[in-house]
């Protein structure tokens, strides 16, 4: 395999006219370090209130549902009420990161913290950020945030703080970089826009392919 | 204004009346038209067949024949596109010729867009009572940006009502030798174009390229559709006495 | 995948006469309209195209450096990069990884590189069980068919075809169950494939991008199958060709703004997942092993040639969707993995111009592909390059050499041409005057088989002009 590697790189260098003189690594180092952004769409700009409104509009357009609550304290009730409204059993699996919320206010809610199993119908996760330009959630994997929660169960309820809504994808990535050790990404970063879908049957849109068929976003003020 | 007419091989062979319509239009709007004799073809058939050597020979002839004219006018989007967009590329490896090609490219215009964009003609003095629909030839549209110009002039033709067909920008299937290399696919494409035209109820179909028009007219005739097919220059010049394309003489 | 591109004319003819295929191809128009509407909502579309082209050009110009940087980053993140010159090498690598992991069942996300490699046949021959999890790919896997479109692999099938397929393959289910509704089909596929995700030991995905800075792979899906395939099984294998590389996430973001809009008219795909290495020590989910198979298979040979621009392609399929030839014959007629205009340019580079010679010739050069391409790839120009190669090497071009050279002979001799043209115009004009055209013309059977040939007016322009001037 080392031979394959040498040959491929040699072939690339030859094609670039560089078999005699090697390329200059500082060229690519500079480009990378600059983290230069391309044209930023106008819709990814604006004051925070505008971005929040845009996030809600775009997420709804992508068939997610969105509700607002005043604070963390309101979350257990909101989750419980959501399950009731949707006629779903009062049972869910959640990211361990959400353990500190006041779940004892809703003792009838059967909540387990950890990665999902096949039988789990509803999952609850936090989000690192919300991207206004397309109403997209940004989730990161971690010790307390198994990534499979957002994919395996049929219903995904995602918590997002209003203050974590940003305009552009790059803004979200910057936040991840700032929070991560040595700016290195976690094992998995998921950008999620609405529930899962397919148009493989005669180009007709159907929601709920393999990922969740329902995405409900709870926006938290404050 | 002195202009030279690049007739095109199809107009020369098939339908000279288009050439004369072009001359009338240009003269009516203040031009003196000359037709350099040593012209045959723009070289596109050779170019698109991958025969670069012959394409260059033919192009060199065109460049020489049209030397010294401030404006060269072509009643075809496809030949106009060949000269103005592809000649410089043809001679990319020969700097001296490339410069001459570049010079000719800048001076060459398709007929209708020359009238509207250079001569600033806004209306023509012509009459054609009835409904017409316009097919956008691919080269004219995508290489030369010809879209609104023929429509603007057609709207000034007395009695003429312009209706748009669906998929007006979709290729008619001529494509030079494409129509004889892959005739079944070409036929499918022209069949769709003819259906689109028929669905408008128009009595007349127009375009700026004789290649497209021969293809579309041939299909219409085979299907027995009574739609007249003409080059847009014929209508704009008020020269529609001649039988339409494919009509008995 | 075995190529039948040399049979294009016969394949195309069959496709044109296939009423069911023609019906299914009709859905593409809706995609074109929705795409135009979505793009109209993004005023920065053209600027983004320019920026995307510049990013890819920069990356390709420094591809060796970015490849090395990428490899180092993958390794630092705990993953492994495996280099493969050919599909055969890549297949062997994937099989070895699966065997070493004691794997039997493999969950596959959609990967055109996997199709190029003919990976599934290879895995099956090695006694492994690959299961396609993208709904369209799953359906054609059951049917034993190749994809007919690079984004919508089952485009050529109707809902009834899909129902038939499920009935004949999902034998454990009640044969009288209703499968008329789309939802019923989806529910059935979902429950079958869920088992694949949960039981597979290996997940294989493609990559829309490889990010050099962090050693990450990025996939976009709508179904979530790629994400499940790469997070539930113990081993994750990424299949990617060299040119998938971009330097940073910011660079990927530019192109991402083009991809979904161009491919499916969506603002963004439901999922965009960036994976970096295997699970961390503290993660409670994720694969234990992360492997990237980096495939060359002709890409490095395209660098520094007139075909280099093709390496910018992001596989959005806009060119297919807007091509009148693709819309007439569908994807199978092209006879290999990549159909439509991008296939016409790329396929000869990968399987040889002798095999794929028809593809760059079966174009009227209408130019709509280049017009819609988000990466500004000059597709007709590269098809013409292939024709030049064929012409100069006498490689069985459909246009007879003698015809072209004969025309050129006359075209460069105006006086001789005048005589010949005047005579021919006169003869044909007289013969055709009564009808206005010909229903049959020798040597022009391709045309007159289905169209009349209009008759010339009978005198050439130059003859008439000379007369009128006297």
- A114 and A133 Cβ atoms separated by less than 8 Å: no
- C362 and C407 Cβ atoms separated by less than 8 Å: no
Q: Residues A179, A111: one domain?
A: yes
CA C173 to each of CA B37, C130, C170, C188, C189: distance values in angstroms, whole numbers, following the listed order: 79, 22, 6, 10, 12
Q: What is the reported pLDDT for A23?
A: 81
- Please name the residue of chain C whose CA is at the shortest distance from the CA of residue A196: C223
Domain B122-236 sits in CATH at 3.40.50.11810
- Name which of C348, C344, C349 is nearest C334 in CA terms: C344
Three-state DSSP at A23 gives coil
Domain enclosing residue A22, as ranges = 1-36
Q: Residues A26, A86: one domain?
A: no
Q: Mean pLDDT, chain A, as a whole number? A: 95
The b/e string for C369-379 (b: 16+ C-beta within 10 A; e otherwise) is: bbbbbbbbbbb
Residues A132-144 have a mean pLDDT of 96
Q: Which positions in chain B touch C404 (Cβ < 8 Å)?
A: 45-46, 49, 51, 54
What's the count of helices (H) and strands (E) in chain C, helices before strands? 24, 12
Contact partners of C by the rule of 3+ C-beta pairs under 8 A?
A: A, B
Q: C341-353, pLDDT tens digit by residue?
A: 999 999 999 999 9
Residues C360-364 have a mean pLDDT of 97
Q: C92-129, pLDDT tens digit by residue?
A: 999 999 999 999 999 999 999 999 999 999 999 999 99
Q: Which positions in chain C touch B177 (Cβ < 8 Å)?
A: 399
The answer, yes or no, to whether residue A19 has pLDDT greater than 80, is no
Q: Residues A99, A177: one domain?
A: yes
Residues C408-419 have a mean pLDDT of 90
- B101 and B87 Cβ atoms separated by less than 8 Å: yes
Sheet of strand B127-134: strand arrangement: B158-162, B127-134, B204-207, B228-231
CATH 3.40.50.10420 domain span(s) along chain C:
42-300
Residues C278-300 have a mean pLDDT of 95
The answer, yes or no, to whether residue C435 has pLDDT greater than 90, is no
Q: Is C40 on the interface with A (CB under 8 A)?
A: no
Q: Mean pLDDT, chain C, as a whole number? A: 95
Q: Residues A15, A120: one domain?
A: no
User: C275 - beta bridge partners?
Assistant: A188, C217
- Name which of B82, B66, B84, B77 is nearest B4 in CA terms: B66
Residues B223-232 have a mean pLDDT of 96
**What DSSP letter does each residue of C306-344 carry, written as one string?**
TTGGGGG-----HHHHH-HHHHHH-SGGG-SS--HHHHH
Both structure tokens of B98: 């490339």
Q: A199-211, pLDDT tens digit by residue?
A: 999 889 999 999 9
Say which of B17, B177, B248 has its CB closest to residue C433: B248
pTM value? Answer: 0.96
- Cβ contact, residue pair C399, B39, below 8 Å: no
A181 band by pLDDT with thresholds 50, 70 and 90: confident
Q: Which residue, among A115, A140, A198, would best test binding to C if mutated, counting the most C CBs under 10 Å from its CB?
A: A198
- C6 and B177 Cβ atoms separated by less than 8 Å: no
Q: In this complex, does chain A touch chain B, defined as having at least 3 beta-carbon pairs under 8 Å apart? A: no
C396 band by pLDDT with thresholds 50, 70 and 90: low
- Cβ contact, residue pair C450, B219, below 8 Å: yes
Residues C454-459 have a mean pLDDT of 92
The answer, yes or no, to whether residue A159 has pLDDT greater than 80, is yes
Spatial distance between the Cα atoms of C367 and C342, rounded to a whole number of angstroms: 12
How many domains does chain A fold into?
Answer: 2
Q: Which residues contact C395 (CB under 8 A, 6 or more apart)?
A: C353, C354, C357, C389
Q: C172-229, pLDDT tens digit by residue?
A: 999 999 999 999 999 999 999 999 999 999 999 999 999 999 999 999 999 999 999 9
Q: C153-162, pLDDT tens digit by residue?
A: 999 999 999 9
Q: What is the reported pLDDT for C240?
A: 98
The answer, yes or no, to whether residue B77 has pLDDT greater than 90, is yes
Q: How far is CA C382 from the centre of its chain?
A: 15
Q: Residues A20, A83: one domain?
A: no
Spatial distance between the Cα atoms of A85 and C405, rounded to a whole number of angstroms: 77
Say which of A13, A118, A188 has its CB closest to residue C231: A188
Q: Which residue, among C357, C392, C449, C461, would best test binding to B if mutated, counting the most B CBs under 10 Å from its CB?
A: C461
Q: B188-219, pLDDT tens digit by residue?
A: 999 999 999 999 999 999 999 999 999 999 99
- Cβ contact, residue pair C461, B12, below 8 Å: yes
- Please name the residue of chain C whose CA is at the shortest distance from the CA of residue A2: C83
Q: Which positions in chain C touch A16 (Cβ < 8 Å)?
A: 61-64, 303-304
Q: CATH classification of C42-300 is 2.40.50.110, yes or no?
A: no
Phi-psi region at C29: left, alpha or beta (left = phi > 0; alpha = psi -120 to 50): alpha
Q: What is the reported pLDDT for A180?
A: 84
Q: Which positions in chain A touch C212 (Cβ < 8 Å)?
A: 28, 32
The CATH number that applies at residue A89 is 3.40.50.10420
Q: What is the reported pLDDT for C434?
A: 86
Q: What is the reported pLDDT for B114?
A: 98
Q: A36-84, pLDDT tens digit by residue?
A: 999 999 999 999 999 999 999 999 999 999 999 999 999 999 999 999 9
Q: What is the reported pLDDT for B182?
A: 95
């Amino acid at each position: 395999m080392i031979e394959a590697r040498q040959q491929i790189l040699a072939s690339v260098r030859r094609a670039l006219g560089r078999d005699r003189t090697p390329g200059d690594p500082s060229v690519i180092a500079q480009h990378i370090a600059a983290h230069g952004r391309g044209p930023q769409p106008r819709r990814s700009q604006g004051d925070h209130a505008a971005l929040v409104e845009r996030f809600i509009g775009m997420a709804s357009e992508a068939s997610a549902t969105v509700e607002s609550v005043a604070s963390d304290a309101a979350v257990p009730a909101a989750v419980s009420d959501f399950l009731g409204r949707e006629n779903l059993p009062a049972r869910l699996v959640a990211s361990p990161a959400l353990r500190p919320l006041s779940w004892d206010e809703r003792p009838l809610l059967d909540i387990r913290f950890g990665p999902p199993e096949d039988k789990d119908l509803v999952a609850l996760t936090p989000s690192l950020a919300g991207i206004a330009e397309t109403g997209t959630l940004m989730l990161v994997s971690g010790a307390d945030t198994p990534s499979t929660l957002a994919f395996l169960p049929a219903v995904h309820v995602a918590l997002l703080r209003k203050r974590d809504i940003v305009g552009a994808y790059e803004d979200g990535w910057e936040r991840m970089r700032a929070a991560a050790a040595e700016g290195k990404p976690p094992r998995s970063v998921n950008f999620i826009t609405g529930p899962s879908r397919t148009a493989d049957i005669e180009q007709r849109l159907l929601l709920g392919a393999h990922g969740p068929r329902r995405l409900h976003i709870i926006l938290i003020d404050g | 204004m002195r202009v030279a007419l690049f007739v095109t091989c199809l107009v020369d062979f098939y339908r000279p009346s288009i050439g004369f319509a072009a001359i009338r239009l240009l003269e009516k709007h203040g031009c003196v038209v000359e037709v350099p004799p040593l012209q045959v073809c723009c070289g596109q058939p050779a170019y698109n067949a991958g025969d670069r050597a012959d394409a260059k020979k033919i192009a060199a002839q065109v460049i020489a024949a049209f030397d010294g004219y401030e404006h060269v006018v072509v009643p075809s989007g496809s030949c106009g596109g060949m000269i103005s967009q592809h000649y410089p590329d043809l001679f990319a490896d020969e700097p001296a010729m490339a410069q001459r090609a570049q010079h000719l490219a800048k001076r060459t215009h398709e007929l209708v867009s020359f009238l509207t964009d250079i001569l600033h003609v806004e209306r023509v003095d012509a009459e054609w009572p009835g409904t017409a629909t316009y097919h956008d030839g691919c080269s004219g549209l995508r290489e030369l940006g010809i879209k609104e110009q023929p429509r603007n002039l057609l709207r000034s033709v007395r009695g003429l009502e312009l209706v748009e067909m669906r998929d007006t920008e979709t290729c008619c299937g001529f494509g030079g030798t494409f129509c004889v290399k892959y005739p079944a696919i070409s036929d499918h494409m022209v069949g769709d174009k003819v259906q689109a035209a028929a669905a408008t109820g128009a009595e007349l179909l127009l375009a700026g390229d004789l290649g497209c028009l021969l293809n579309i007219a041939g299909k219409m005739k085979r299907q027995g559709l009574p739609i007249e097919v003409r080059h847009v220059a014929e209508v704009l010049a008020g020269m529609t006495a001649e039988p339409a394309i494919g009509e008995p003489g | 995948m075995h190529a039948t591109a040399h049979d294009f004319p016969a394949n195309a003819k069959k496709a044109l006469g296939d009423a069911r295929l023609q019906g299914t191809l009709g859905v593409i128009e809706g995609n074109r309209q929705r795409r135009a509407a979505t793009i109209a909502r993004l005023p920065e579309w053209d600027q983004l195209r320019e920026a995307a082209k510049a990013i890819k050009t920069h990356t390709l110009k420094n591809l060796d450096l970015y490849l090395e940087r990428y490899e180092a980053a993958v390794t630092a993140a705990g993953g492994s990069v495996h280099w493969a010159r050919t599909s055969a090498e890549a297949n062997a690598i994937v099989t070895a990884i699966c065997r070493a992991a004691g794997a039997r069942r493999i969950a596959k996300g959609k990967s055109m590189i996997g199709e190029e490699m003919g990976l599934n046949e290879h895995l099956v021959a090695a006694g492994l069980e690959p299961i396609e999890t993208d709904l369209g790919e799953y359906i054609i896997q059951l049917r034993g068919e190749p994809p007919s479109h690079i984004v919508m692999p089952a485009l050529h099938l109707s809902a009834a075809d899909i129902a038939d397929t499920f009935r004949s393959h999902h034998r454990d289910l009640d044969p009288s169950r209703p499968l008329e509704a789309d939802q019923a089909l989806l529910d059935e596929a979902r429950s079958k494939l869920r088992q694949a995700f949960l039981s597979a030991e290996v997940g294989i995905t493609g990559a829309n991008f490889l990010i050099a800075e962090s050693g990450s792979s990025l996939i976009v899906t709508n179904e979530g199958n790629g994400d499940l395939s790469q997070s539930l099984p113990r081993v994750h294998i990424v299949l990617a060709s060299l040119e998938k590389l971009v330097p940073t996430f910011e660079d990927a973001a530019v192109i991402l703004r083009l991809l979904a809009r161009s491919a499916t008219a969506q603002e963004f795909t439901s999922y965009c997942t960036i994976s970096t290495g295997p699970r961390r020590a503290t993660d409670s989910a994720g694969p234990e092993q992360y492997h990237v198979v980096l495939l060359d298979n002709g890409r490095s040979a395209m660098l520094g040639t007139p075909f280099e621009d093709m390496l910018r392609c992001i596989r959005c399929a806009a060119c297919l969707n807007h091509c009148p030839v693709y819309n007439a014959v569908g994807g199978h007629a092209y006879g290999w993995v990549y159909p439509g205009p991008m296939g016409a340019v790329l396929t000869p580079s990968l399987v040889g111009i002798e095999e794929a010679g028809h593809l760059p010739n079966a174009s009227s050069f209408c130019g709509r592909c280049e017009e819609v391409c988000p990466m500004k790839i000059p597709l007709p120009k590269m098809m013409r390059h292939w024709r030049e190669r064929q012409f100069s090497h006498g490689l069985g071009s459909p246009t007879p050499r003698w015809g072209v050279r004969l025309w050129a002979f006359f075209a460069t001799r105006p006086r001789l041409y005048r005589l010949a043209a005047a005579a021919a115009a006169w003869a044909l004009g007289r013969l055709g005057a009564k009808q206005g055209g010909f229903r049959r013309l020798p040597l022009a059977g391709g045309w007159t088989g289905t169209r009349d040939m209009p008759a010339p007016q009978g005198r050439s322009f130059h003859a008439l002009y000379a007369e009128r001037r006297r």
